[in-house]
Chain A
Amino acid sequence: MNRAIRLIRRRAISSIPVLLIVVVLTFLLLESASGDAVDAYLLSIGGGDATVAQSLRQAYGLDQSMLARLWLYVSSLAKLDLGWSVAFGRPVLDLILERLPNTLLLMGSATALSFGLGSALGIVAGAKPESIIDRALSTCSLILYAIPSFWLGLVLSIVFAVQLRWLPTSGIETIASGKAGLARAMDIARHLVLPVGALALIYMALFLRVMRSGMAEAWTLDFVLFARSKGLSRSRIVLRHVARNAMLPLVTMLGLQSAAMLGGSVVIESIFAIPGFGRLAQEAVSGRDAPLLMGIIVVSAVLVICVNLLVDLVYAALDPRVGASEPNS
């Protein structure tokens, strides 16, 4: 347990410069894009005169120099103040807290599904490498992986929502339905089937491939030979010995994929009209809403850092060799 606390402390300290770099780079990147929040706003209302533009720029503090604005942002961030969204006219923290649960639900379910399904199918494929089942599964998963997420999302929606009418086309829950408790949870689950399916099917391939190749490698190792010579059943060897050893790289993969899913959710959230983080980020960029975009990036970075920390802890627990050589501090 000591090991875990040390790891958390070390990660917390090292993540501060990472966050700072992320914030400054995002700010500069958005700054380098032509046009500001007032330009975007004026267009959205169909025009306005020069006085309006000037007074808006003053109100948003956009008339100050770039460095002054960056400093203002970083210093208030240090006080855990995420600032005020220009495009929405609301505090950034409110917006983020409103949208984050939807995205976490979407990403969490999709990650769980792709991890679960991917590793299960990976075990099936890796149980007998180079067999027909292995070939078929590998090919199918690669095809799915090659499909763009927006296309898969649209096709699933046309088939299951428009034609079969089994599921709703979009949204996170039935609008203004007044449902509560379990009925509401079921309603949300029903709305999530298609978006989660679209995200999970695509990322499933990675888990399947990693699991399968890990298992194929493990079959050649001495301990498997030993287990066989002990006369263990094949299913026991597959599950207890081969699959378990192939699991480790999968956990690493899980950490990496959670960041990728955050990106993939931008597209899926737009297609399925889910008010989540990804869509908020897209609106922040088109509205040139620097405080909001940076708030989103900072929170995403914290999320990714946390997930990776969690993965490391899991890893350390699964494999005693990891972290053993670290100096005590």
Chain B
Amino acid sequence: MTIATLPRRTLLQAGGTLLASTALPTFALAQGAGNRLVVAADSEPKNLNPAIVASNGVFFIASKVVEPLAEASFDGKGGLAPRLATSWEGSADGKSVTFKLREGVKWHDGKPFTSADVAYSALNIWKPLQNLGRLVFANLEAVDTPDATTAVFKFSKPTPLQLIRNALPVVSSVVPKHLYEGTDIATNPANVKLVGTGPFKFTEYKPGEYYRLTKNADYWAKGEPKLDEIIFRVLPDRAGAGAALEAEEIQLAAFSAVPLTDLARISKVPGIKVTSKGYEALTYQLVVEINHRRKELADVKVRQAIAHAIDKKFVVDTIFLGYAAASTGPVPKNAPEFYDASVPTYAFDTAKANALLDEAGYKKGANGTRFSLKLRPAPYFNETKQFGDYLRQALAAVGIDAQLINADSAAHQKAVYTDHDFDLAIGPPVFRGDPAISTTILVRSGIPAGVPFSNQGGYENKELDGIIAKAAETVDTAARTELYKQFQKIVATDLPLINVAEWGFITVARDTVSNVSNNPRWAVSNWSDTALKS
């Protein structure tokens, strides 16, 4: 009998406590007290070291702690603002780049920052381990350190300074040599509990709840940072960030954590501002990936017909609710250094699409269908999924029957990029400041299976491959830029893939947060001048 009575009593007590707590008076807002900025975060990267994992999810948090040599800037020279490096200069043969480093910078543990840290990070982490650095620094042979504030990068083959410059904000996060040397870099505890030179120190991580960064009182920029604390609060549900902003539990949500469909409503809430600025150097591209192994799709007329069948204006206005721009080719308009508008374009024209398909020899059958295709939209964004639904209808209008296959991220990655089990896929590749970083890989041939966001459609164009290879070693900036203009023309003409739209993200913040979105990679930059008005 004792067993029977015990649980019942404790259960009733527990229930009683809960009922009592509902009767409490108005919940006092303890959050936002002091000079603390609370930000919504939707993911918790297992490796937070930006020197190893150069991804937006990692930078979002880590960029406040670990600094790169230079950061992107709206008005700086060459689109850059110096951080750990104060100047950079390339040699005429393209085989060396000299960085002058900032003086008087200290690591968060008090040790001085020197050129040895840069050399160690470059040779031991960026080049061999980093997802993007492996490409940019592929020919890096040595880093000379004649003195504590000079680092000379030596390359075995000519490496364009333009590429290095454009890549700096992404690939050059410097970590302390004294904590990594002689350890297993991949499992070093500093990959989670970061130690850097940035305006904020990494103080606390409660898995599933929050990251806490606190002010670095010894920061090299005088008078910065302006905040005492930044809290990244983990909010996995899409509706959570908007609700928390309205309830003033958080002050900022970046990376479109508030879904596009909520923006019209939330922008009318007093005290909340919505901005699409601050993502200019993080442009995502909506792309139709094509499997050229499929006989019909190997015909350029069919690919042109598909391009004509897509109403880009509808996609921008209806799917992206206006927060995007129609694409003309593989380089977005946000990269004016490279962008070329004078490429063949494909106006929305169903009649022309039908005519091209007839010309290619794929007449409509008795049921009005020419042929069937397997269409796989990537699941990473609402917009890529919605575009899948749209594309199916757009193709049906020209007699192509597309079978939609929706899968989760891991299954999509395997099907498209490893097994090539698709005819058309919808992907969101990113333009990272220079076409050589993650754009040419989308159309270049000879990439092994299993590499995500790369040409897995079996497309091969010797001329295009030649231009890509030549640009990779063209040191002269003007000549290299010209090569990428040719690259855009060929891609827009031959359509190895179809670029539909390009978009950045949306930041929603309370009015009290100032200096928001003041550089083209703001969400993933240092936030040392971000401030809170009380």
Distance of A280 Cα from B209 Cα, bound (Å): 12
The 8 A CB mask of B318-346 against A (1 = contact, 0 = none) is: 00000000000000000000000000000
State whether A35 and B210 are in contact (beta carbons under 8 Å apart), knowing that A113-B18, A317-B1 are contacts in the complex: no
Q: Are B451 and A48 in contact (CB under 8 A)?
A: yes
**9-residue interface stretch from B7-15, B145-153, B270-278, B510-518:** B7-15
Contact with B15, one of A33, A50, A113 (Cβ below 8 angstroms): A113
Q: Are B452 and A42 in contact (CB under 8 A)?
A: yes
Most interface-central of B30, B247, B418 (chain A CB within 10 A): B247
Distance of A109 Cα from B55 Cα, bound (Å): 40
Q: Are B134 and A109 in contact (CB under 8 A)?
A: no
What residues of chain B lie closer than 8 Å to A90, measured between beta carbons? 46
What residues of chain A lie closer than 8 Å to B57, measured between beta carbons? 44-45
A240 to chain B, nearest CB (A): 15
A187 to chain B, nearest CB (A): 9
B135 to chain A, nearest CB (A): 8
What residues of chain B lie closer than 8 Å to A37, measured between beta carbons? 410
The 8 A CB mask of A9-47 against B (1 = contact, 0 = none) is: 000000000000000000000000111110110111111
Q: Is A223 an interface residue (CB 8 A)?
A: no
Distance of A36 Cα from B417 Cα, bound (Å): 13
A62 to chain B, nearest CB (A): 12
Contact with B26, one of A44, A99, A166, A310 (Cβ below 8 angstroms): A166
Q: Are A39 and B414 in contact (CB under 8 A)?
A: yes
CB-based nearest B residue for A287: B410
Q: Are A43 and B380 in contact (CB under 8 A)?
A: yes
B172 to chain A, nearest CB (A): 17
Q: Are B413 and A189 in contact (CB under 8 A)?
A: no
Q: Is A116 an interface residue (CB 8 A)?
A: yes
Q: Is A209 an interface residue (CB 8 A)?
A: no
Chain A interface size, under 10 / 10 to 19 / 20 to 34 / 35 or more: 35 or more
Q: Are A43 and B413 in contact (CB under 8 A)?
A: yes
Contact with A40, one of B55, B135, B413, B449 (Cβ below 8 angstroms): B413
Distance of A85 Cα from B31 Cα, bound (Å): 33
8 A Cβ contacts from A268-321 to B: 270-276, 279-280, 286-288, 310, 313-314, 317-318
Q: Are B46 and A89 in contact (CB under 8 A)?
A: yes
The 8 A CB mask of A149-187 against B (1 = contact, 0 = none) is: 000001001100110011111111011110000000010
Q: Are B415 and A169 in contact (CB under 8 A)?
A: no
Q: Are A175 and B31 in contact (CB under 8 A)?
A: yes
Q: Is A112 an interface residue (CB 8 A)?
A: yes
B412 to chain A, nearest CB (A): 7
What residues of chain A lie closer than 8 Å to B187, measured between beta carbons? 89
Distance of A322 Cα from B499 Cα, bound (Å): 70
- Please give 13 more A-B residue pairs, beta carbons under 8 A apart, in addition to A44-B57, A95-B207, A175-B212: A34-B414, A88-B46, A89-B47, A112-B14, A166-B27, A171-B209, A176-B210, A189-B21, A197-B22, A271-B237, A272-B237, A286-B408, A317-B3
A residues bordering B, Cβ < 8 Å?
4, 33-37, 39-40, 42-50, 52-53, 87-90, 95, 98-99, 108-109, 111-113, 115-117, 154, 157-158, 161-162, 165-172, 174-177, 186, 189-190, 192-193, 196-197, 270-276, 279-280, 286-288, 310, 313-314, 317-318
- Residue contacts A-B, CB under 8 angstroms, 13 given: A42-B413, A46-B56, A50-B447, A162-B243, A162-B246, A170-B249, A174-B31, A175-B210, A197-B22, A272-B237, A275-B206, A286-B408, A286-B409
